[in-house]
Amino acid sequence: MRPDDLRNPECSSCYLLAAWETASGPEAFVELNGRFLIVNRAWGRMFGRAPSEFPSLAWRDVTHPDDVGVDQAEVDRLLRGEGEPYYELPKRYIHKNGAVFRVRLCVSLVPKVDGSPWFFWVSAFKQTVLAENRARLARTGFGKEVYRRAAEDLTSAVDTIKGYLDDKRGKSDAG
């Protein structure tokens, strides 16, 4: 598979590819040898790179050195056909500016029609966004207020339902 194959205007999947390329979540197709085949714009933004820079890179080139072994072990397992054809793990990547960032990585092995391995579909969720939001909620106390209000609303809803059921029971008992 080549990136041009995916961009062929006669390809019946061109609409799907256009949606994939512009999706807000970082996504990449990676060849079995570890080289990036194609990445979407969000993947490029996550690394501070243009999507066109990735075909010259392998996933190991942008992975924190301490995380290469764990990821490679999972890749090898997929290629041996053991277990489920996917894995998920926390991982550190290296931004173009040298900063290390964390993601929750989801990798699926995409098979050819004959069932043999074709390429990896990789999705990532940047953990710093989640951590920053949690920290902001903790600092402001807003999160506790939201949970308190939700609990009050839930209690109120349960009380309303109980009252309705009690009324229904009372009417059926009286009738």
Q: Where are the domains of the chain?
A: 3-128, 141-174
Q: One digit per residue, pLDDT tens: the chain, 175 residues? A: 455 555 565 655 666 777 777 888 899 999 999 999 999 999 999 999 999 999 999 999 999 999 999 999 999 999 999 999 999 999 999 999 999 999 999 999 999 989 999 999 999 988 765 566 666 666 666 556 665 665 555 555 566 666 666 776 666 555 5
State which amino acid sits at residue 136. Answer: R
Q: pTM here?
A: 0.67
In sequence order, which residues have a C-beta less than 8 Å from that of residue 132 and are 6 or more positions away? none
Alpha-carbon distances of 149 from 22, 35, 67, 154, 162, rounded to whole Å: 37, 49, 41, 8, 20
pLDDT for the residue 171:
62
Distance CA 104, CA 113 (A): 29
Tokens of 55: 């075909």
What DSSP designation does 98 have? S
CATH topology of domain 3-128: Beta-Lactamase (3.30.450)
